[in-house]
Structure 1
Amino acid sequence: MADHSLQKLAQVIVHYSLKLKPDDTFIIRAPEIAAPLIREVYREAIRAGAYVNTEIELDGLREIFFKESNEKQLTHVSEYDKLGNEYFNAALIIWAPSNSRALSRINPQRIARHREATSPLLNRTMAREAEGTYRWCGTLFPTQALAQDFGMSLSEYEAFLYEACLLNDENPITSWQKVYEKQQHVADFLMQHDEIHIVAPDTDLTYRTAGRQWINCAGINIPDGEVFSGPIEDSVTGRVRFTYPAQYEDNEVEDVSLTFQDGKVIESAANRGLDFLNAMLDTDSGSRYVGEVAFGLNYHIKEFTKHRLLDEKIGGTMHMALGASIPMTGGVNRSGLHWDLVCDLREGQVYADGQLCYEHGNFII
């Protein structure tokens, strides 16, 4: 990624997404391959007056952990992680895999047990975000693995990512502010309604959001472009077929179908990866419930990329997260799992309290 684009991305992250200010305690978590972006963000954050820490992960450590750890190590929650969870008030996560399938041969039960054990960290992070004492941003640094997953060269992937992040615009921050204004119209509309009914090929699903907040995401992550909420936990009913392969912890599950009754997954199916899907569904008592519902509104992202940060934003899609609610929505489901699964709605319709409000991949409001 060219230095100028990295500088622009760092400026968007520091000054728009995280709004860093003097005396903020800020941590950058990233693999070493993302060093060029780490440096630019670090420089910009120092200039903003923040106290900056870095947590750089070496390639292959997670694979070693899941293969070699004993049961006590697998379920251990360190004091270091607990302290960091309370100390920092801002964080950047940079995803930059050198191998996007490194954990695909790991026993999914081990991943599920680790997720369950560390669920207090996830839920506390989300609670602090709702309290306003913590903010975070996730972004991508282009790698050969990401480009290969998308079926293109690294230079082509970089160009695609620039566009999705609005970095080609003269002032990306102004552009993201305009996106926010446009998406707020959608969030305001959904806030006025309760029952959402989604109809698409092999999908007929309803849920309710009365009393919950619809959140406008136009720069929380970069790239961004969605509105999301937390459904009333026992209201999700019906069947949904997720058009795109579901990606989680370096595993891919194809052609996922879920049936819900009183909010809970009572039936699951997949053409490939069903054992992994079921292991994640059985992570804990909250992992068969939906913690998040959302609509993707970034029409610069048109194709499935195999990375959830991008795929959940695809214009003309909806996604649902199994597991933990995001407390700022008013959702109360707790889990160590938060897994976004994406469904194409470009051949579907959405009804809000019986009113057609969405078709051909766009809101008509």
Structure 2
Amino acid sequence: MVSEKCLRQYAELAVRLGVNVQKGQLLVIKAQVDSAPFVRMCVEEGYRAGAGEVIVQWLDDQITKLDYQYAETPVLQRVPDWLTAREQEFVDRGYCILHIDSSIPGIMKDVDQKKVQQVVTARRKALEKFQNYTMANLGQWSIVAIPNPEWALKVFPQEQPDTAVEKLWDAILASVRIQDQQDPIPLWEKHNRQLSERNDWLNRQRFAALHFKNQKGTDLIVELAEGHLWEGGCEKSQSGVVFNPNMPTEENFTMPKRTGVRGKVQATKPLSYQGKLIQNFWIEFEEGKAVRWHAEEEEDALASLIQFDEGSAYLGEVALIDVDTPISQSGILFYNTLFDENASCHLALGRAYPMNMEGSQSMSEEEMKAKGCNFSMVHVDFMFGSDDMQITGVHADGSEVVFFRDGQFCIE
């Protein structure tokens, strides 16, 4: 049984180091209804940290599935005025947002993918202008996760439900550096410093491209955007507040050049997308665009992601992660991107993060595009790292540096 002390530490970590709510600031929490006990702890921690107001928005995967099964597509596509007005009010008030993920892998497996695509596209178009609030770090945001029985049994299928949930709790808490006898905040501060030092090294290199290669089928050139910046660990909002967007996190990531990706990438972990689990897939790129792909399971879901909009066939992120991270060493497949991406090098189809381009705050969208930034309504990570991955950094003059070998950084 997970102790109340550990749960309190987790809630405090999410609020004070994750979103780092400021005195008088509005804190919005989005969470599944089944996570109510932990959400209440986060609400209390928010107020104790100085939040002026805490608003909880409840979600329910089971009800969402029922909506798709029974409601007509035009009904689900509609975004009422009150919803956009609410989002605008949050932005105007300079809010921070904490996502507490407790989704069920594969829950939408039997739902019509075309219907899901139509609804998601309509809703994202209606709310697109608010996406930049987090993508450009206008305010603080963070994502943490807690178990549910369905997810836990997917991860530990041989266990009884209660045991599976307990084991998943143990794995999650270990991944965010929570132990009974130790304060996790100093551990996170040390971890952030280590990621920052690696960012500094990568930024000094000014690589023009990265060449990924392993024995599983990946042979991929990823050119990097002009003025790219490596980030990872804690970040700063545009008002200067330090926060941790993903907990856990182990990555150093930057912006690919939109038209500069070529070759084949073989995924090494399943991808959960819109409630469907895409398994054993590969993608081939030419001039930055995904032109061929195949998946052994849920290929239609992969196709709908790649074809979501004009930018979803291009990359918006490339992230580097050692295979000896705590999540990777656990040997657990979480079936959840928040965790699985931190066990493996990964790429993201879709929108790039503006913070990964130097001077982006003063650029127009067209100016950013000219330097190689990709735009889309989606941003979906998929994993392709392996224990035999080699990464070669290529400088503008053609000189090369192997800085990642056998799945690990080999920086001297």
**What's the TM-score once normalised by structure 1's chain length?**
0.93
Determine which of 169, 174, 195 is the counterpart of 1:158. Answer: 169
SS of the equivalent of 2:282 reads strand
Per-residue displacement from partner, 1:192-249 (whole Å, max 9, x unpaired)?
2221110112011111224122111253222222122221111111100001112112
The CA distance in 2 between the partners of 1:80 and 1:299, in whole Å, is 44
* Structure-2 change in CA distance of 1:221 and 1:205 (3 Å): same
The CA distance in 2 between the partners of 1:126 and 1:342, in whole Å, is 23
**What's the TM-score once normalised by structure 2's chain length?**
0.83
More displaced 10-residue stretch of structure 1: 115-124 or 1-10: 115-124
Question: 1:10: Cα distance to partner?
Answer: 1.2
Aligned AA (1:299): T
The CA distance in 2 between the partners of 1:4 and 1:287, in whole Å, is 42
Aligned AA (1:112): Q
* Structure-2 change in CA distance of 1:221 and 1:276 (3 Å): same
Question: 1:47: Cα distance to partner?
Answer: 1.3
* Structure-2 change in CA distance of 1:114 and 1:86 (3 Å): same
SS of the equivalent of 1:167 reads coil
1:215 and 2:219 aligned: no
More displaced 10-residue stretch of structure 1: 226-235 or 55-64: 55-64
Aligned AA (1:144): P
Aligned AA (1:217): G
Aligned to 2:284: 259
SS of the equivalent of 1:174 reads helix
SS of the equivalent of 2:253 reads strand
1:61 and 2:63 aligned: yes
* Structure-2 change in CA distance of 1:290 and 1:198 (3 Å): same
Aligned to 2:406: 360
Aligned to 1:279: 304
Determine which of 188, 195, 209 is the counterpart of 2:200. Answer: 188
The CA distance in 1 between the partners of 2:254 and 2:81, in whole Å, is 32
The CA distance in 2 between the partners of 1:111 and 1:65, in whole Å, is 11
The CA distance in 2 between the partners of 1:82 and 1:335, in whole Å, is 20
Question: 1:270: Cα distance to partner?
Answer: 1.3
SS of the equivalent of 2:220 reads strand
* Structure-2 change in CA distance of 1:230 and 1:85 (3 Å): farther
What are the equivalent positions in structure 2 for 1:43-54 lying under 5 Å apart? 43-50=44-51, 51-54=53-56
The CA distance in 1 between the partners of 2:126 and 2:195, in whole Å, is 30
Question: 1:131: Cα distance to partner?
Answer: 4.9
User: For this pair of structures, how many residues does the alignment match?
Assistant: 362
Aligned AA (1:194): A
Question: 1:180: Cα distance to partner?
Answer: 1.0
1:299 and 2:325 aligned: yes
SS of the equivalent of 1:216 reads coil
The CA distance in 2 between the partners of 1:87 and 1:93, in whole Å, is 18
1:206 and 2:212 aligned: no
Aligned to 1:79: 81
RMSD: 1.9
Aligned AA (1:174): P
Q: Which blocks of at least 5 consecutive residues in structure 1 are unaligned? A: none
Greater Rg over alpha carbons, structure:
2
Question: 1:184: Cα distance to partner?
Answer: 1.5
Q: Quick check: 2:262–2:285 contact (8 Å CA) kept in 1?
A: yes
SS of the equivalent of 2:296 reads coil
The CA distance in 2 between the partners of 1:67 and 1:43, in whole Å, is 36
Q: Quick check: 1:115–1:283 contact (8 Å CA) kept in 2?
A: no
Aligned to 1:23: 24
> Sequence identity, in percent?
23
What are the equivalent positions in structure 2 for 1:168-179 lying under 5 Å apart? 168=179, 170-179=182-191
Aligned AA (2:182): E
SS of the equivalent of 2:342 reads coil
* Structure-2 change in CA distance of 1:36 and 1:228 (3 Å): same
Question: 1:123: Cα distance to partner?
Answer: 4.6
